Structure 1
Amino acid sequence: MNRAKEIVSGCNKRRAWVPLAAALVLGLSSAPNAVAETWRLEAWERMLDYSSPSRRLDHQPLDTAARPWRLCALYPHLKDSYWLSVNAGMIEQARRLGVALTVKEAGGYDHAEGQREQLKQCADGRADAIILGSVSADLHTPAIVEVGRRIPVLATVNRVRPEGVDAMAGVDWYRMGYLTGRFLAERHPKGSPMVRAALFPGPPVDGGSAGKMRGFTDALSDAAVEIAAVRYGDTGKLVQLSLIEDVLEEDPSIDYIVGAGVAAEAAVGALRARGLQGRIHVVADYFTHGVYRGIKRGHILAAPTDQPLLQGRISIDQAVRVLEGLPVPKHVGPEVILVTQDSVDGIDLGASLSPPEFKPTFGVPVPGAADGMADDRASNRHLQPNRHL
């Protein structure tokens, strides 16, 4: 741990935080081996404040790290392919840069205490920086502040409070909800026959489901769409299927099921089993492998993608930049793109979805480690998921 403190202390002394405007002038490519690849991103002026001004940014990711840093990434879960795609992006970028990566997943959004313990495990281990996909917008704030005094903490995908956070990779989930709602509003403008939608936004996590809901309802302010029911729940497929079945039993006259990627996937099977495909339509509010297949096959009408695989890559790039004192975009995210049956064949799947053969991967070892592990002290507990949660 003393070694980690010395590394971070040294980095902190030479960390000259470059304001965003200066970083833009530099092109964020001050690393000598920047690759030709460019990521088209949105950069917010104030970190974790989506109400602040934003601008487009052409960002060149690093080609290699100066040393084999040890990163630790925490996810809410790996129950659906959204976080699998984030995982794939992180693994790809860690291997590309030559850094070690340990991955832990909490087991669900109701495991805040377990994830807080994982955060401390990473900090007390040999991690040089932590990337947190949080299960809560604010429950971890004291722990983040405490850990952030010792090593950098970065946030990914899910919103947290900015205290103690060095950088963020993520998009405004309000926009995800707004694009979903606008799709329905354009199909059913004010003055047309009223339709009724049941919503399944996922867990009631502030900054996630809450942001999507605000965007969705704002987009419907001038549309002939009535929200008939709202059901929150963890994004496990069985949980979402149960919620959908309950609503269909109570109100089979709904016209739309709109929900999280897993909910949309579950809805396709539930409607088929009841002979309701074609009468009740399905729209997803984020993009997964199953949603992609559903759109391709005509079972799901549309979904926005925030390019989760690319977000995973961005987080690794940010972490290495923070550790090496390089210019870093404090809060950036990919463009949010609405995918429909008309546009699905033209999107860049490589930025949104993990490859078909990719499986959950819980570690990238230190490059050159003789035994294939991170080192003799980073044993299986670092490279395997926490199964007790």
Structure 2
Amino acid sequence: MKLALMTGVALATLITAPTFAEDWFPYPAEEVTPAFSSEGTAKPVTYEPLEKAAEPHDICVSFPHMKDAYWLGVNYGVTEEAKRLGIKLNVVEAGGYTELAKQVSQIEDCVAGGADAVILGAISYDGLNNVIKEAAEKGIPVIDVINGVSSPDIASKSLVSFYTMGYETGKYLTEKHPAGSEPVKVGWFPGPAGAGWVEAANSGFMDAVEGSAVEVLEARYGDTGKEAQLKLVEDVLQSDPDVSYLAGTAVTAEAAQGLLRERGLTDEIGLLAFYMTPGVYTGIQRGMISAAPADSMVIQGRIAVDQAVRIIEGQDYIKHVGPKIFVVDEDTIDDVDRDAILPPEGFRPVFSVE
């Protein structure tokens, strides 16, 4: 994704998220034009959802997994918005980023079961294109949420630029270690290979650190399960004991906190995540994690549901939109409204809204 996409995206150190009472809107967002273009330009918009759906439409939601708090936040967003709009919602999850065939099968089942629309958090950037096309040919709109797909047959996108998320994380490091300063080694854990959001974040991160004193070690790809990420972190600490930072997925940062504490390395190795979760938020509060961009995953889920209803009802909708991105660190976290970017503490997954 080119830097043109970042012209309208929040690249400042902090843009405080709004505070809401009963409603989550209006919400500061970014619309990408032309829609679905990797080289599109983002411009600020204020997102306003429908008040209610005209009918209790039936929407099916497919997630890669529910193994970490990030997707729990998206689950909170889609289910709460379904309740607010007065529609039916069924959520399925494939069990991990290795389960592409299972996700394809689940989407086929959604379509066969009579869903009016499908909201898809894709396991693969390219691997779901055939099933998306099949759904579209049957008149079932598919909304691309969070991860991104390459299919031209989707109806809309509710997501942020993970290029920008990765770029902001790398930019945070380059500002601390500019060209000419003492070199620092960074272990980099972008997530599961082949996922669209992972490749985008990797490109953004690498572009941001280019020409700085930051030396990025070989990228360690892997599933976003805690055990998988912890093993990757252990491998880096073993092979490169002089590493100064560990940067990557939220699960990486969350898992690494305990390991660094056990080994007495919390003052020697910094942690960064390129997206926000409740665990990362708490880690920043406690001084264990340095910083992370917030992409408001709850809002992405809410917008996807609103898009689906608008498409079903033939109403106007923004085809490619996502919440404004802002960076949270130890100095700014007290200025951020947690409830605007993360699910409530103690929230458990909801799989059906009737």
Which secondary structure state, in structure 1, belongs to the residue aligned with residue 218 of structure 2? strand
Please give the residue correspondences for 1:172-183 in structure 2 after superposition, counting only pairs within 5 Å: 172-183=161-172
Contact residue 50 and residue 172 of structure 1 kept, 8 A: no
CA distance in structure 1 between the partners assigned to 2:239 and 2:353 by the alignment: 48
CA-to-aligned-CA distance 1:136-168 (integer Å, 9 cap, x gap): 011111111011122111110111123221111
Matches within 5 A, 1:1-389: 37-150=25-138, 151-365=140-354
Output the CA distance in 2 between the equivalents of 1:148 and 1:351. Answer: 33
Tell me the distance in 2 between the aligned counterparts of 1:65 and 1:333: 21
**1:26 corresponds to:** none
> What are structure 1's unaligned runs of at least 5 residues?
1-34, 366-389
TM-superposed CA distance for 1:347, in Å, is: 1.6
3-state SS of paired residue (2:220): strand
Can you list the C-alpha shifts for 1:315-373, whole angstroms capped at 9, x where unaligned? 010000001111000000001111110111112322321101210110101xxxxxxxx
Q: Secondary structure at the match of 1:180?
A: helix
| Stretch deviating more after TM superposition (111-120 or 146-155) | 146-155
Amino acid of the structure 1 residue aligned with 2:343: S
Unaligned stretches of 5+ in structure 2? Answer: 1-22
Runs ≥4 in structure 1, deviation > 2 angstroms? none
Partners of 2:32 and 2:245 lie apart in 1 by: 34
Partners of 2:251 and 2:315 lie apart in 1 by 38
Question: Which amino acid letter does the alignment assign opposite residue 153 of structure 2?
Answer: G
Give the counterpart letter for 2:101 in structure 1: E
Which residue in 2 is equivalent to 1:11? none
- Matched to 1:328, the amino acid is Y
CA contact (8 A) 1:43 1:329 kept: yes
Helix, strand or coil at the partner of 1:270: helix
- Bigger-Rg structure (1/2): 1
Question: Alignment partner of 2:190: what SS?
Answer: strand
**Contact kept in structure 2, 1:47 and 1:162, CA below 8 Å:** no
Quote the offset at 1:250 in angstroms: 1.5
Note the C-alpha offset of 1:36.
Answer: 9.5
TM-score (norm 2): 0.91
**2:123 touches 2:195 (CA, 8 Å); kept in 1?**
no
Superposed CA RMSD in Å reads: 1.2
Contact 2:30/2:43 (<8 A) preserved: yes
Identity %: 44
Residue of structure 2 in register with 1:371 after alignment: none
Q: Is the 8 A contact 2:132 2:151 kept in 1?
A: no
* Residues in 2 aligned to 1:62 and 1:185: alpha-carbon distance in whole angstroms: 42
- Match of 1:230, SS? coil
| Structure 1 residue 179: Cα displacement | 0.1
Deviations 1:148-196 (A, max 9, x none): 1221111101111232211110011110010000000000111111111
Contact 2:24 2:340 in 1 (8 A): no
AA paired with 1:65?
A
Question: 1-side partners of 2:104 and 2:176: how far apart?
Answer: 43
Contact 1:286 1:304 in 2 (8 A): yes
Return the offset for 1:59.
Answer: 2.1
Shift of 1:298: 0.2
- Are the counterparts in 2 of residues 168 and 330 from structure 1 also a CA contact under 8 Å? yes
Question: How many residues of Structure 1 are paired with residues of Structure 2 in the alignment?
Answer: 331
Take 2:240 and 2:329, find their aligned partners in 1: how far apart are those partners?
27
Task: State how far apart, in whole Å, the 1-side matches of 2:254 and 2:83 are.
Answer: 32
